Amino acid sequence: MRLNRLLSVFILMLGVCCHIAQSNAQTVDDAKLRPLVQALAGDNFEDTTKAISDLVKTGDPRVSKILDALSAGDLYVAKADKTVFFGKRDGSDYAATDPLTGTKLDPVSRSAAEKIKVNNRLRRDIAAAIGGLTLMSDNITERRSAAEAILKTRDPESIPLLDQAIAVEKDTGVKALMQQAKAAAVLSSDAADDVKIAAITEVSAGNSRDALSLLTPLENVQGPVGEAAKAAIDSINTKLAFWNAIQNVVYGLSLGSVLLLAAIGLAITFGVMGVINMAHGEMVMIGAYTTFVVQQIIRTSAPGMFDYSLLIALPAAFLVSGGIGVVIERGIIRFLYGRPLETLLATWGISLVLQQAIRSWFGASNVQVGNPSWMAGSFDLGLLTLTWSRLWIIVFSLSVFAIVQLVLKKTMLGLRMRAVTQNRRMASSMGIRTPWVDALTFGLGSGIAGIAGVALSQIDNVSPNLGQGYIIDSFMVVVFGGVGNLWGTLVGAMSLGIANKFLEPFAGAVLGKIVVLVLIIMFIQKRPRGLFALKGRAIEA
């Protein structure tokens, strides 16, 4: 099996070499190429592999496009006459084009055609084959992905090919990548020791993880190559250990920012107003579902706006969750002030009602909330992989925090809120309509939970259970940070996040969580009012 595969890659590469040797891409007769394309629709993966290598051997410039389509699953075969075509879904039909000439064919009904199957192994082989075909391409992204594909396969056969490509490559980034690929290929070849040692130096200058995976197998080789590999591995490991610590801090901040987002609304309803709000998680969930609805509307009516969907969802989620919060406060909670146990039970009941309502309305399954393009993917910072979605959430949660602080400290509404919570009767006698302030405060807390839902929809499931996963953590953050103090919530969230991430690598996710919980309990025993305790009359009341 393995030998077979090596052989097939070898054949692919051989084909590529010959093709490059002929220097210019040769167009082959359609009549000659057609049966080879037909052969792609073989009975099993072995047949398809063989057909791919045959196609590559022809060196025809159209081959890379055909293989691309095969890899993407756009190549179909008609069940009746076994013609292979490019297919694109169009209602109940496939819009078909001829893979060789590009002419439009009659649409094929979906039940009359079958997709040509590819698995991971074939996709890998295809990437390598296309890599060989496009190493000299005019398009820089094609050349880059070609070099990346060869870096993955590490095939010694591609060394001469890479030498040619490196000689003419102008872009320094792609050139470095090609040199990496060549060094990787050299390491898997049977080159002389000094050539290999040079390659080790070359490899360890590049991406450390790739380097590790190249060098580890060489570690136990006798002689100078093994020693050089060992030395390189040691220096990479020292570097990795350093970056690991940084990674824990960054991932901790990211987890902390998620906790902060979830807790910040609760810091208002529970921390400022003293309402034990068990339905807080459901406000987050409703925010996430609002995002879903907004995206559905955008998908059907203005697909071009999709990248802005989250920006539109933010105010919508704030209004929907905030509105529901006001209704809950006016309808239920205001009758229960000063009776914490009843409030707890009533809000818990509300949370069940809201969950079941969403479940009946949207179904029990997850709904799909898409990532706008600016939130997808990741980038490397040193040896750290940072995903855009996590980074944006850190930024977002800090801005929400700042805005809430501003509202509470600098606006009339904030002033009234603080006045009412500090001394309700005096505020009332100063002419503040305390019931409305209560409703608005609760609405603000709920609305903020709603916009947290918009952010969480990007990294978590959007299902009716979304809120349940966050309610315990939110209470933990607020209690740990100190009830009634937003700064406490910020510090509490971030320290819990970072503590979790430092414990996780050696304690495991399950034990790590338990340890954090035990630590919090011990801390609360020592300081019942949390990190930043409020002082003064408010808490005595």
Partner 1 sequence: MFNLPARFIGTLAAAAMGASLAMSPASAADDTIKVGILHSLSGTMAISETTLKDTMLFLIDEQNKKGGVLGKKLEAVVVDPASDWPLFAEKARQLIEQDKVAAVFGCWTSSSRKSVLPVFEELNSMLFYPVQYEGEESSRNVFYTGAAPNQQAIPAVDYLAKEEGVERWVLAGTDYVYPQTTNKILKAYLNAKGVKDEDIMINYTPFGQSDWQTIVSDIKKFGSTGKKTAVVSTINGDANVPFYKELANQGIKAEDIPVVAFSVGEEELAGLDTKPLVGHLAAWNYFQSVDADANAEFIKEWHAYTKNDKRVTNDPMEATYIGFNMWVKAVEAAGTTDSNAVIDSIVGTSVPNLSGGYATMMPNHHITKPVLIGEVQDDGQFDIVYQTPGLVVGDEWSDYLPGSKDLISDWRKPMSCGNFNIVSGKCGGVTN
CA nearest neighbour of 273 among 315, 328, 320? 328
x/- string (CB under 8 A) for partner 1, residues 242-271?
-----xx--x--xx--x-------------
Least distance to partner 1, CB of residue 444, Å: 26
The CA distance from 383 to 209, in Å, is: 8
x/- string (CB under 8 A) for partner 1, residues 350-379?
--x--xx--xxx-xxxxxx-xx----xxx-
Residue 124 binding partner 1, by CB under 8 A: yes
- Our CB check for partner 1 shows the closer of 235 and 385 to be 385
Which segment (189-197, 240-248, 324-332, 486-494) binds partner 1 by CB under 8 A? Answer: 240-248
Figure out which of the listed residues 23, 24, 119, 429 binds partner 1, where binding follows CB under 8 A. 119
Least distance to partner 1, CB of residue 272, Å: 27
Least distance to partner 1, CB of residue 136, Å: 23
By CB under 8 A, the count of residues binding partner 1 is: 72
Residue 469 binding partner 1, by CB under 8 A: yes
Residue 110 binding partner 1, by CB under 8 A: no
The CA distance from 461 to 427, in Å, is: 43
- The footprint of partner 1 on residues 135-154 (CB under 8 A) is 152
What SS3 state is found at 96?
Answer: strand
Q: Is 456:262 a contact under the CB 8 Å cutoff?
A: yes
Q: Is 451:337 a contact under the CB 8 Å cutoff?
A: no
CA atoms 498, 500, 505, 509: torsion sign: negative
The CA distance from 278 to 269, in Å, is: 10
Least distance to partner 1, CB of residue 268, Å: 23
- The footprint of partner 1 on residues 398-457 (CB under 8 A) is none
Figure out which of the listed residues 34, 110, 123, 239 binds partner 1, where binding follows CB under 8 A. 123
The CA distance from 374 to 453, in Å, is: 18
DSSP string covering 269-312, please? IIIIT----TTHHHHHHHHHHHHHHHHHHHHHH-GGGGGGHHHH
Residue 504 binding partner 1, by CB under 8 A: yes
Residue 506 binding partner 1, by CB under 8 A: no
Which segment (162-170, 419-427, 462-470, 528-536) binds partner 1 by CB under 8 A? Answer: 462-470
Residue 239 binding partner 1, by CB under 8 A: no
Residue 459 binding partner 1, by CB under 8 A: yes
- Our CB check for partner 1 shows the closer of 22 and 368 to be 368
Phi, psi of 77 (to 5 degrees): -130, 135
The CA distance from 413 to 427, in Å, is: 13
Figure out which of the listed residues 351, 389, 421, 446 binds partner 1, where binding follows CB under 8 A. 389
What SS3 state is found at 378?
Answer: strand
Question: In terms of DSSP H, where are the helices of 75-119?
Answer: none
Which segment (16-24, 60-68, 160-168, 212-220) binds partner 1 by CB under 8 A? Answer: 212-220
- Upper half-sphere CA count for residue 215 (Cβ side, 13 Å): 30
Figure out which of the listed residues 32, 88, 104, 121 binds partner 1, where binding follows CB under 8 A. 121
CA nearest neighbour of 286 among 353, 342, 370, 376? 353
- The footprint of partner 1 on residues 31-50 (CB under 8 A) is 45
Least distance to partner 1, CB of residue 14, Å: 21
With the CA atoms of 245, 246, 249 and 253 taken in that order, what torsion angle do they form, in degrees rounded to the nearest 10? Answer: -160
Q: Is 85:78 a contact under the CB 8 Å cutoff?
A: yes
Instruction: Write the DSSP symbol of residue 43.
Output: S
With the CA atoms of 383, 385, 388 and 390 taken in that order, what torsion angle do they form, in degrees rounded to the nearest 10? Answer: -110
Question: Would you give the distance in Å from CA 510 to the centre of its chain?
Answer: 22
x/- string (CB under 8 A) for partner 1, residues 295-314?
-xx-xx--------------
- The footprint of partner 1 on residues 269-298 (CB under 8 A) is 296-297
Figure out which of the listed residues 10, 306, 337, 388 binds partner 1, where binding follows CB under 8 A. 388
Residue 5 binding partner 1, by CB under 8 A: yes
Residue 237 binding partner 1, by CB under 8 A: no
